[in-house]
Amino acid sequence: MKLFEPLDINGMIIPNRVLVPAMVTRLSGEDGMVNDDIIDRYVRYAEGEVGLIVVEAMAIHGAKAGPLLRISDDRFIPGHAKLTKRIHDTSDSKVVPQIIHFMKIARSGWRQTLDMLSEQEIEKIIEEFGDAAVRAREAGYDGAELHAAHAYTLSSSLSALNGRRDDYTGRTLEGRLRMVGRVVKNVRKKVGNDFPIGIRMLADEYLREGYTVKEAKLIALRMAQLGLDYISLSVGGKFEDAVHTPGEILHGYSGYSGERCMPGDNHPDMLHVHLSEEIKSFINSKGYDTPIVTAGKISKPENAKLVIEEGKADIVGIARGLLADSDWVVKVRNGEEDRIVHCTYCNVCKELDGAHKEVHCFLWPKHARQAPADQPDSDAPIWGADKGGLTVEQADGAATLKWSKAESEVSGYDIYRADDNGDVEIIEAVKGTRFVDRTILAGMPYRYYVRAYNKVGQASVPSENVMIEPALPDYAEAVA
Ligand SMILES: Cc1cc2nc3c(=O)[nH]c(=O)nc-3n(C[C@H](O)[C@H](O)[C@H](O)COP(=O)(O)O)c2cc1C
């Protein structure tokens, strides 16, 4: 299966087409140093044999930013070297750091914008990217990823809302591309051509008057022309529409563009794949085969396989899905899909990141700081004599499900639902023994069952099924 075939990215052979995109962990202190918790988080992905691990955004400069990794000085190299060694000693997973420059923000809501940067400051940023890439190479990373997405400096330069009026002018696409172009040239000068350099950019800003896939195609083409070794696509995550809470630092993921970037359970699966498909086919038609990474709710195995088989992208990015279950690759490859701890996109991780708190997953056992180590032989929970005793009651447009506790170690319960006699989907995971479904449409049959799972995803047999078919409301009957 193509998903599990290796891919050569400028000499970096990734063992499969699954990438864990950068995800800030907030496990580092304000000192920006790699510590044991950070190492444990990334070694988990290596144990899970993820093809390419992108280590969370790390600053190339010294600006204040709360708990955030840094690669802004040689004194950070030994920590990163320890991290890369541990990953390489664990499996064939490859690892790159995401290197980032961001501008200043204040609790008052004020933020520095691109047009406030002097030419000397831009020259400095270009140098800092090059120096950080050199440090990445010295630390034993397999390559580096430039962060040109979301609310940060390079993304602000590419943005249709870039307010500069000099050589980096936002009035032309060429002006917007100039800073990234110069960064790439300098990085290449400093690390050479044989060190893989990827970039993360936006396929759509999801901002009023922001750029969309129409220009993203052209930006991606230029990235390919610059010789970048992969293009990882994200969307949104901008400051322009962020919601400011007085007294707090502006969070780039608090507006609608932020919601698109880390879409919650209200959004459909694979909602951004059409963007990567369009961008990939465009650059391919221009003669470039730069690998394209897509991301955004692609953690169902059948979806990940489809994206690769149908050539909608070259690599699948699974962020929250791999946080929930870092052994996803091994389980899917071994045909053990039934043992996956399925991300429900509840976004507890996103909220923790926004609050600068240690990022963990709601689905992990209480107080766990990492995804639990896999135990394929552990006992799955079992139902008592009542086989789960699942009941459903409907009232006021909602269906309330109740069941009995399963026996042996239980981490949570997945709620499965089939709408209108269609496919079964997990609609929620809960820790308790009650769930209220407020998303039913009367007039259709719904079938539910529940499975209890342990901390490594071993699930009980399904409970008995329960069905409801709420009657159409009076006003709808008249027109039905
Ligand atoms: C807690 C958290 C932190 C994130 N930090 C970063 C980051 O440092 N850099 C980045 O490019 N994207 C970051 N993202 C966005 C993810 O890389 C990814 O694009 C997004 O979550 C959508 O993919 P998914 O649906 O597979 O989770 C973060 C997402 C989450 C949930």
The model's pLDDT over 63-83, given as tens digits with 9 standing for 90+, comes to: 888 889 999 999 999 999 999
> Does residue 86 lie in a domain region?
yes
Distances (CA, A) of 141 to 63, 78, 135, 319: 23, 12, 9, 20
Question: In this structure, are 413 and 296 located in the same domain?
Answer: no
Residue 480: pLDDT over 60: no
Decide: 16 in ligand 1 pocket, CB within 6 A: no
- pLDDT of 478 reads 66
Q: Are residues 173 and 258 in the same domain?
A: yes
In ligand 1, the atom with minimum distance to the C-alpha of 299 is 26
> Is the same domain home to 81 and 202?
yes
Q: Residue 77: how many CB atoms within 10 A of its CB?
A: 18
Q: Is the minimum distance from the CB of 270 to ligand 1 under 6 angstroms?
A: no
Q: Quick: pLDDT tens for 183-211.
A: 999 999 999 999 999 999 999 999 999 99
In 3-state terms, what secondary structure has residue 412?
A: strand
Q: At which of 302, 337, 354 does a domain end?
A: 354
For ligand 1, atom 3, name the residue with the nearest CA. Answer: 23
What is the pTM for the complete model shown?
0.97
Question: Which CATH number does the domain housing residue 145 bear?
Answer: 3.20.20.70
> Locate tokens 């009995």: which residue?
404
Residues 179 and 240 in one domain: yes
Please state which of the ranges 242-251, 291-300, 391-400 shows the lowest mean pLDDT: 242-251
User: In the structure, what pLDDT confidence band is assigned to residue 108 with cuts at 50, 70 and 90?
Assistant: confident
Name the closest-CA residue to atom 21, ligand 1. 262
State the residue range of the domain holding 298: 2-354
What does the alpha-carbon distance between residue 247 and residue 249 come to, in Å, rounded to a whole number? 7
149 CB under 6 A from ligand 1? yes
Beta carbon of 350 within 6 Å of any ligand 1 atom: yes
- Centre of ligand 1 to C-alpha 24, Å, is 7
Provide the 10 A C-beta neighbour count for residue 9.
Answer: 23
State whether the beta carbon of 21 lies less than 6 angstroms from ligand 1: yes
Residue at 209 is within a domain: yes
CA of 52 from ligand 1 middle (Å) equals: 15
Residue of 34, 28, 30 whose CA lies nearest to 82: 34
In a domain, 27, yes or no: yes
Atom 20 of ligand 1: nearest residue by CA position: 262
Q: Which helix (H) or strand (E) holds 418?
A: strand 412-419
Q: Which atom of ligand 1 is nearest to the CA of 150?
A: 11
pLDDT reading at 151 higher than 60: yes
Give the number of domains in the chain: 2
Helix (H, G, I), strand (E, B) or coil at 454: coil
Q: Is the CB of 237 under 6 A from ligand 1?
A: no
For residue 406, the one-letter residue type is A
> How high is the mean pLDDT of the chain?
96
The verdict on the CB of residue 283 being under 6 Å from ligand 1 is no
Q: Which DSSP string corresponds to 106-140?
A: -TTS-B--GGG--HHHHHHHHHHHHHHHHHHHHTT
**Among the atoms of ligand 1, which is closest to the Cα of residue 347?**
31
Q: Do 432 and 341 share a structural domain? A: no
In a domain, 225, yes or no: yes
Residue 230 sits in the same domain as residue 135: yes
**pLDDT bracket for residue 321 (50, 70, 90):** very high
Residue 72 within a domain: yes
CATH for 454: 2.60.40.10
CA of 23 to the centre of ligand 1 (A): 5
Asked if the structure places residue 410 within a domain, the reply is yes
Ligand 1 atom at minimal distance to the Cα of residue 295: 23
C-beta of 98 in contact with ligand 1 (< 6 A): yes
- List the residue whose alpha carbon is closest to atom 28 of ligand 1: 23
- The ligand 1 atom at the shortest distance from the C-alpha of residue 263 is 25
* pLDDT of res. 249: 83
The sign of the CA dihedral 200, 173, 314, 339 is positive
Q: Which of 327, 354, 381 is the last residue of a domain?
A: 354
| Ligand 1 contact via 236 beta carbon (within 6 Å) | no
With beta carbons less than 8 A apart as the criterion, state whether 413 and 453 touch: yes
> Of the residues 200, 262, 326, 353, which should be mutated to test ligand 1's pocket, given the most ligand atoms within 8 Å of the CB?
262
Of 237, 350, 234, nearest in space to 298 by CA: 234
Question: Could you identify the atom of ligand 1 that is nearest to the CA of residue 296?
Answer: 25
Segment (H or E) for 398:
strand 398-402
- Cα of 56 from ligand 1 centre, angstroms: 9
Question: Is residue 479 over pLDDT 70?
Answer: no
Q: Are 321 and 434 members of one domain?
A: no
Q: Which of 24, 266, 357 has the most ligand 1 atoms within 8 A of CB, as the residue to mutate?
A: 24
Shared domain for 325 and 396, answered yes or no, is no
**Among the listed residues 212, 210, 203, 264, the one whose alpha carbon sits nearest the alpha carbon of residue 235:** 203
Same domain, 322 and 395: no
Are residues 220 and 159 part of one domain?
yes
In a domain, 52, yes or no: yes
User: Which range, of 24-33, 182-191, 308-317, averages the lowest pLDDT?
Assistant: 24-33
Q: Does 260 lie in the same domain as 113? A: yes
- Which pLDDT band, with edges at 50, 70 and 90, does 49 fall under? very high
361 lies in some domain: no
- Answer yes or no: do 132 and 72 share one domain: yes
